[in-house]
Amino acid sequence: MKFAKPKKLSEIAQKTGAQLNSPEAGEVLVSGINTADTAESGDLVWAESKEAVEGLTGSPAAAAILPPASKGIAFPALVHPLPKLIFGMLIEEFIPVGLGDPSTSRIHPAAEIDPRAVIGGNVTIGAHTRVQAGAVIGNGCEIGENCMVAYNAVLNWGTRLGNRAIIHANAVLGTDGFGYVQKPVDGDPTTWESLKVPHAGCVIVEDDVEIGACVCIDRGLLQPTVIGKGTKIDNLVQIGHNCRIGPHNIIVGQVGFSGSITTGKNVIAAGQAGVADHSDIGDRAILMAGVKLAGKIPADSKLIGYPPMERSLFFRWATTLQDIVLVPKILRAAIESDNFDAFRQRLAETKMPERWFRLLGGMK
């Protein structure tokens, strides 16, 4: 994201309370802000992790925001114990205030806008799109043709819908990502407070996407959160900031995706699947109901359970676990029974699976 005009690093240091890592750094001009992995020429980048700091070598960025442990590197920098907090202060400059002037919006004559909907400034709405009562379309949103934004749905500022997108009632697109910086409370080092980091990315919904009721999709930090072409999302799903959901995914009710998750094409996430941040899910993977997972998931995987495992292995594991639980009961029945008939009766009372009776000589 680019500033209206370049700024000296000394000016930013004075505004934010960060320190310069050298007197010469104060004269460096920066034209915008970015993350270290997407840096462009002239950017001031947030570089807090070891990987981000090491990546500054050869980076086109003009300067970086660094933690004190890295202040000695030969790169113009602002130094602060909480680099992401400084980055958040700069992000605020790019966040619009208020809905804007509705008279600046461009609504196609063939669009159907309920008079009880709220339309912000600089909004674009295509032909044959319907916006129902109570919907809120924020500043700078773009909506394609033949879309439907249902009752009380909210598109926060900058959200972009492709053509033929359906947003069901009470869905909320473009809320801030769940991002905070923690620091000790003044006077009480045993207690940590959470300081908000604003988000200025947007949400992009591509063509032919359907988003269910009460779905929440967070905006990215700087880069967009993207829902790929043809994806269908059921009710009550949470998708965190900076996720990139691939084309033609199916995401079922109560799925939770943390931030910065990437999915391939034709991924299926069944009900209540939970995925940790920065996971990478391959093409055609199936995340079965209730699975909890993290990391890189190969294409064509079928995962279930926690810890997650392949479907066929999971059912063998579950069967084996059930058998292990039953072994002490069988031994106890054998010890406490006076004869074989009593033993068989005790086994029947344990409600053992059919296969155990077959293994024990067809006693049932």
- For 266-275, the CB contacts below 8 A with 24+ separation are 271/234
Distance from C-alpha of 231 to C-alpha of 289, rounded to nearest angstrom:
18
Say if residue 195 is in the same domain as residue 326. Answer: no
68-117 pLDDT tens trace: 988 778 899 999 999 999 999 999 999 999 999 999 999 999 999 999 99
Domain count, the chain: 3
Average pLDDT over residues 23-49: 95
Structure tokens at 10: 């000394």
Do 114 and 34 share a structural domain? Answer: no
Question: Would you say residue 63 lies in a domain?
Answer: yes
* pLDDT given at position 344: 76
User: What pLDDT is stored for residue 343 in this prediction?
Assistant: 79
Give per-residue pLDDT as tens, 220-249. Answer: 999 999 999 999 999 999 999 999 999 999
The predicted structure's pLDDT at residue 361: 54
Those residues with Cβ within 8 angstroms of residue 115's Cβ, 6 or more apart along the chain or in another chain: none
Same structural domain for residues 128 and 50? no
Look up the pTM and report it. 0.87
Give yes or no: residues 208 and 277 share one domain.
yes
The catalytic residue among 128, 241, 248, 278 is 241
Distance CA 290, CA 354 (A): 27
Structural domain span for residue 42: 2-94
The answer to whether residues 85 and 57 belong to one domain is yes
Cis peptide bond upstream of 189, omega within 30: no
pLDDT value at 209 more than 60: yes
Residue 171 falls inside a structural domain? yes
Decide which of 67, 94, 121 is a domain's last residue. 94
**Do 118 and 249 fall within a single domain?**
yes
**Of residues 247 and 314, more confidently modeled:** 247
39 with 33: CB under 8 angstroms?
Answer: no
Statement: residue 258 has pLDDT above 60: yes
Task: With a cut of 90, say whether residue 261 has pLDDT above it.
Answer: yes
Cβ neighbours, 10 Å, residue 101: 11
pLDDT surpasses 50 at 364: no
Say which CATH number the domain at 36 has. Answer: 3.40.1390.10
Query: Same structural domain for residues 126 and 156?
Result: yes
> Do 287 and 306 touch, CB atoms closer than 8 A?
no
Q: What percent of the chain has pLDDT over 90?
A: 80
User: Band of the pLDDT at 351, cuts 50, 70, 90?
Assistant: low
Instruction: Say if 82 falls within a structural domain.
Output: yes
| pLDDT band for position 357 (cuts 50, 70, 90) | low
What CATH number should be reported for the domain holding residue 146? Answer: 2.160.10.10
- The pLDDT confidence band at residue 184, using thresholds 50, 70 and 90, is very high
Q: DSSP assignment, residue 222?
A: S
What separation in angstroms does the CA of 278 have from each of 24, 148, 292, 293, 295? 37, 31, 14, 11, 7
Do 129 and 229 lie in a common domain?
yes
Q: Are residues 180 and 327 in the same domain?
A: no
* Other CB atoms within 10 Å distance of the CB of residue 163: 17
193 plus 211 within the same structural domain = yes
Do the Cβ atoms of 48 and 181 come closer than 8 Å?
A: no
Is 241 considered catalytic here? yes
| CB-based contacts of 150, cutoff 8 Å, min separation 6 | 132, 135, 166, 167, 168, 169, 171, 213
Position 165 scores a pLDDT of 98
